[in-house]
Amino acid sequence: MEAAALLVTEALGGSRYALARLISLVEDDGADARAALATLYPHTGQAHVVGVTGAPGTGKSTLVNQLAKSLRAQGTTVGVVAVDPSSPFSGGALLGDRLRMRDLAGDPGVFIRSMASRGSLGGLARATGDVVKVLDGVGFDVVLVETVGAGQAEVDIARTAHTTVVVEAPGLGDEIQALKAGLMEIADVLVVNKADRPGAAKTARALEMVIGRNAPRGEAGQDGWCPPILQAIALDGTGVPEVLDAVAAHREHLRATGLWATRERERVETELLGALRQELLDQLLARVGEDQIQAWVERIAAREVDVYTAMQFILDAD
Amino acid sequence: MEAAALLVTEALGGSRYALARLISLVEDDGADARAALATLYPHTGQAHVVGVTGAPGTGKSTLVNQLAKSLRAQGTTVGVVAVDPSSPFSGGALLGDRLRMRDLAGDPGVFIRSMASRGSLGGLARATGDVVKVLDGVGFDVVLVETVGAGQAEVDIARTAHTTVVVEAPGLGDEIQALKAGLMEIADVLVVNKADRPGAAKTARALEMVIGRNAPRGEAGQDGWCPPILQAIALDGTGVPEVLDAVAAHREHLRATGLWATRERERVETELLGALRQELLDQLLARVGEDQIQAWVERIAAREVDVYTAMQFILDAD
């Protein structure tokens, strides 16, 4: 526990080495991680958490890179959490992509962390939330969370951000990828990236039509915000300042309307229930023992008993 | 409970109306759903569960449609569970896609069900597993599970299948989409769909290179199976019989090596732990009450206490 407290103190003091170790600790969970998060928690709640999500091939990693560079140029400090296993930030991409990220290296105002996608559904969401808290707590002004954004887990992770940027690109298929992935409803800012490619205007118009289904064009939606549709070429930085302006405008909107606090409470409730769910199971497994569980697994696999009946037996015997 | 038992009896007897109602019951969970699954469970374990997964735009819905049609032509009965919220099976796609699916309608040997992606991470995986069990239990020979396959939730759902078909298409971007989505490691059969488009051969070669990293080309991997890489044009049925042959060969491989039982036990363990996790939370919430939880959420959001400390207080007071 003392080691964890020391890591927090050193990370708060600006040590990147301590920060990296603290993030690894938090990713792996455990008693020390929880002690560290408890110490750090009063320092959190300041960062603007921005999710950047979109289908593979939309160039969202490049956009994240450009957003981070532009924010740094404004003097804003930036943490990046890449939940996409194929993100160049996580080393899964081609060399060309990885080189593009290099120009952020060596800047103390930037910290980049990629999340391994090992473990279970809830595990990744939990770990991502905790890593964001660490970056928030040690004082990064903006935390960018990059997700591949085409599955329920990613939608749930994106939902924990204050502002969600959904990235689209022309020519990825006949239809709008964000629509296919169910991302439209969580988009606060829409970006048509690779806007120099054929079909960019068509993609933007298609997005406008989809947005228009929910709210007449130009009018605000339920929460008083009409998601702007922007065009960008992340590769050379075109349109990136406009994306940042839209992200900043959305933060002001959240602050002015009280939605910031609403989103915060929703996120906290999801986290609390997730933590309770996992802790209750861990405690049960410690009492019941792995052998007992395996014996039930064998009986269920043999069709002697179904999962829910076995569950009831285990709980009744506990 | 009697109503649930009656539904099971009628569904086992071949009533499609009872089957549809049974699936809805199971999707929504609850005591009746669990009673129904317990009754049905001894009938399960016969179906070959085949996951079909791939990035948006790869044409996997069309492939699922063609696989179902070809299986029907062989006299095999087919259940389809579409977990992709944008699948034409779930009504989220454009009219053209939906029309293509119509030729399966009216055939009593086919049953199609789309899963709403509402609810939490674990909820969708739980519901999908239970719906597959219902289709298995009432006697469908093959159950095709279509997932968008680009997120952890989808990977986990795909993992519950006996055989996983990963669909790729040329021209979706510069890189292999399945690689980006982390699907390569769970692929039992790889299909380059839209093989009449430019770049199909290049995509197939790229897949071979990726597969070759794990096992030398043509040699078997860890579990004695080398995933074949097939080309297909799902739109006109080209290559679909070869995909079905590969799927059948994989089933024989699983049976011959005992891996069928291994995968079954892994699936059962995941289900059992998931059920325990959710039940323990539900029981706790019933005891603690929504007001108490909301009070803790407010305190956490106000940074008075962190999530894990709050969790410990709630558990200690329980």
Whether B304 shows a pLDDT value over 50: the answer reads: yes
- Whether A218 is in a domain gets the answer yes
To the nearest whole Å, the CA of B43 is away from the closest chain A CA by 8
Average pLDDT of the residues in A202-211:
81
Q: How far apart are CA A273 and CA A295, in angstroms?
A: 29
From the list B277, B286, B247, the residue with the least C-alpha distance to B49 is B247
Contacts of B303 in chain A (CB under 8 A): 41-42, 44-45
Tell me: do A302 and A251 sit in the same domain: no
Instruction: Give the model confidence (pLDDT) of A58-86 as tens digits.
Output: 888 889 999 999 999 999 999 998 875 54
Average pLDDT of the residues in A218-247:
86
Tell me: do B285 and B184 sit in the same domain: no
Q: Which of A94, A278, A310 sits opposite B272 (nearest CB)?
A: A310
Tell me: do B250 and B297 sit in the same domain: no
Contact B298 A265 (CB under 8 A): yes
Is A5 part of the contact surface with chain B (CB cutoff 8 Å)?
no
| pLDDT top residue among B225 and B179 | B225
Tell me: do A59 and A31 sit in the same domain: no
Tell me: do A242 and A285 sit in the same domain: no
Residues belonging to chain A: 318
Classified as helix, coil or strand, B188 is coil
To the nearest whole Å, the CA of B254 is away from the closest chain A CA by 16
- Whether B267 is in a domain gets the answer no
Contact of A36 with A25, CB cutoff 8 Å? yes
Contacts of B124 in chain A (CB under 8 A): 152
Q: How far apart are CA B296 and CA A15, in angstroms?
A: 33
- Whether A266 is in a domain gets the answer no
Q: How far apart are CA B278 and CA A278, in angstroms?
A: 9
Beta-sheet strands, E only, within A209-269 = 229-231
Instruction: Give the model confidence (pLDDT) of B148-172 as tens digits.
Output: 755 555 666 666 789 999 898 887 6
Tokens of B199: 């770049």
Number of domains in chain B: 3
Q: How far apart are CA A309 and CA A295, in angstroms?
A: 14
Tell me: do A293 and A253 sit in the same domain: no
Tell me: do B21 and B59 sit in the same domain: no
Contacts of B42 in chain A (CB under 8 A): 303
Whether A95 shows a pLDDT value over 50: the answer reads: no
Mean pLDDT of chain A: 83
Average pLDDT of the residues in A212-234:
72
Tell me: do A115 and A179 sit in the same domain: yes
- Whether B288 is in a domain gets the answer yes
Rounded to a whole number of angstroms, the distance between the first and last alpha carbons of chain A is 31
Tell me: do A196 and A149 sit in the same domain: yes
Is B308 part of the contact surface with chain A (CB cutoff 8 Å)?
yes
Average pLDDT of the residues in A108-135:
78
For chain A, state the CA radius of gyration.
21
pLDDT for position B82: 84
pLDDT for position A150: 53
- Whether B286 is in a domain gets the answer yes
| B35: exposed, middle or buried (Cβ count in 10 Å: 0-12, 13-18, 19+) | buried
Annotate A154-185 with three-state secondary structure. HHHHHHCCCEEEEEECCCCCCCCHHHHCCCHH
pLDDT for position A134: 96
Is A106 part of the contact surface with chain B (CB cutoff 8 Å)?
no
Is A277 part of the contact surface with chain B (CB cutoff 8 Å)?
yes
Contacts of A310 in chain B (CB under 8 A): 272
Which of A257, A290, A307 represents a domain boundary (last residue)? A257
Q: How far apart are CA A69 and CA A82, in angstroms?
A: 16
Tell me: do A112 and A3 sit in the same domain: no
| pLDDT top residue among A174 and B114 | B114
Tell me: do A10 and A134 sit in the same domain: no
What's B249's domain CATH number?
3.40.50.300
Contact B182 A86 (CB under 8 A): yes
pTM of the shown model: 0.77
- Whether B82 is in a domain gets the answer yes
Tell me: do A204 and A288 sit in the same domain: no
- Whether B170 is in a domain gets the answer yes
Instruction: Give the model confidence (pLDDT) of A11-42 as tens digits.
Output: 999 999 999 999 999 988 888 999 999 999 99
Contact A180 B57 (CB under 8 A): yes
Whether B102 shows a pLDDT value over 90: the answer reads: no
Residue A318 pLDDT level (bands cut at 50, 70, 90): confident
Average pLDDT of the residues in B236-242:
95
Contact A272 B310 (CB under 8 A): yes
- Whether A264 is in a domain gets the answer no
Tokens of B258: 């005992």
To the nearest whole Å, the CA of B154 is away from the closest chain A CA by 6
Instruction: Give the model confidence (pLDDT) of B13-55 as tens digits.
Output: 999 999 999 998 998 888 899 999 999 999 999 999 999 988 7
Range of the domain at A30: 1-43
- Choose the weakest-confidence range: A191-205, B27-41, B81-95: B81-95
Q: How far apart are CA A310 and CA B152, in angstroms?
A: 27
Whether B202 shows a pLDDT value over 80: the answer reads: yes
